Amino acid sequence: MGLVTSTKYLLHARDNKYAICAFNIHNLETLKAVTSTSFESNSPVILQATPGTVRFAGADYLVAMAKTAADKYNIPIVMHLDHGEDYNMVLECLRAGFTSIMIDGSKHPYTENISIVKKVVELSHALGVPVEAELGTIGGVEDDLSIMGDGVYTNPEVAFDFIEKTGVDSLAVAIGTCHGLYKKKPQLDYVRLAEIRKLVSIPLVLHGASDLLDESVKKCIELGISKVNIATELKIAFSAAVQTVYYEKPAENDPRKLFTPAIDAMKAVVKNKINLVGSADKVTRISH
């Protein structure tokens, strides 16, 4: 069916109180793990790549692989740029055929964040591609982006103003989640999330959802999160499986023997997350 944009699917998720996972992929093996499991679960899925991954794998290769999976499995697959850092990176991904863009201007002062996002929204919307932005800062390390401390939480009134001024399609909120693994127990600000949901209507995105308790993710979805980003847990499952092969057979030199168990380990995580966010069996319920 070719790649799709995320708009219709995130709105359906918002209206029906479930979420769609956005899984960070890096190469053919991780892309196959995510898309084959989404197919088996009959779930729409968002594949996402950070600028680091775009530089590593190539925007054109990523789109070609994602398209192949979409045609093969006939489920809605979105190719999304995660934490797009500047206009040129967005342009490169749009040219290659990405169907969803995140521009992250959250490290800039508010008015600058607005003008960066607005420019990307104008460009992307001209091509029919939706845009995610971030307000507040989500702590931790993602790709080359490192935020010290706990970050700054998203203010609901400012979120409303930001969406009005930028025309963005979805918003990543900072409510106490963190990229990577949690060093201390996360304190999620559910009241803040509920207030944001009350004030704004566009789909809300939870970053840093790896390593959160299942009940925390579920509560966030109940309170209005429609897209849940998963990166770190996938990487851990994949690399731990590769390490196990090396540990058991130090002389192993066949990539297929290394990566097949890694794909299987990642598939198990993907399946769990799809069940957790409630997107399984949603493909046939949305008219294409």
The owner of tokens 């399946």 is 271
CB of 142 to Zn ion, least distance (A): 5
**Residues at the site binding Zn ion, with contacts judged by CB under 5 A:** 142, 207
Q: How far is the CB of 117 from Zn ion (least distance, A)?
A: 15
- Compare residues 12 and 207 and give the one whose CB is closer to Zn ion: 207
Nearer to Zn ion, 41 or 50 (CB): 50
**Strand 139-142 vs strand 145-147: parallel, antiparallel, or unpaired?**
antiparallel
Residue spans of alpha helices (H) in 102-254: 110-126, 156-166, 190-199, 214-222, 232-248
Contact 200, 226 (CB under 8 A): no
- Tell me which of 15, 71, 82, 211 is the catalytic residue: 82
How many CB atoms are located within 10 Å of the residue 285 CB?
9
- In the complex, least distance from residue 210 CB atom to Zn ion, rounded to whole angstroms: 10
Q: Which is nearer to Zn ion, 92 or 104 (CB)?
A: 104
Nearer to Zn ion, 14 or 207 (CB): 207
82 is an active site residue: yes
- The minimum distance between CB 47 and Zn ion, in angstroms, equals 15
Burial of 204 (0-12, 13-18, 19+ CB in 10 A): buried
Beta strands in the chain (DSSP E): 20-24, 45-49, 77-84, 100-103, 131-135, 139-142, 145-147, 170-173, 178-179, 204-206, 225-230
Cβ distance 36 to 240 under 8 Å? no
Helix (H, G, I), strand (E, B) or coil at 56: helix
Residues tagged active-site: 82
